[in-house]
Amino acid sequence: MSKEEKVDIVAHLSTMELKRQEAIFELTTTEEQYLTDLTNLRRVYASTMRKLGAITIEEERMIFCNLAVLEEIHSGQSVKSCQGTCK
């Protein structure tokens, strides 16, 4: 879709629908950024601390105990289905 076609579509949206679309966009982009942050936290921070010997595996499990669960929840079908439904 060209930029002109997108502008034309937006021009025909009601104020309420435009606000709805903006809220959906903000929600999905914030969720994507949160997932990126969680992934980076695990890959860069937690793993590096363990590899450098700054924390033990037990300490890593205690400090980052729910990190994998959060990643799974936020990368799951709930986010993907919202993105598909909300467009």
Residue 50's CATH number: 1.20.900.10
Q: List, for residues 40-80, the tens digit of each pLDDT value.
A: 888 888 889 989 999 998 998 888 888 888 888 888 755 55
| Greater pLDDT, 36 or 79 | 36
Position 16 scores a pLDDT of: 92
Say how far apart CA 73 and CA 79 lie, in whole Å. 8
Expressed as residue numbers, the domain containing 25 is 3-85
Position 84 scores a pLDDT of: 56
Looking at residue 54, the DSSP 8-state letter turns out to be S
How many structural domains is the chain composed of?
1
Which distant-in-sequence residues (6+ apart) come within 8 Å of 82 by Cβ? 27, 28
pTM, whole model, 2 decimals?
0.63
Q: List, for residues 14-33, the tens digit of each pLDDT value.
A: 889 989 989 999 999 998 99
Burial of 37-47, coded b for 16+ CB within 10 Å and e otherwise, reads: ebeeebeeebe
Say how far apart CA 2 and CA 85 lie, in whole Å. 22
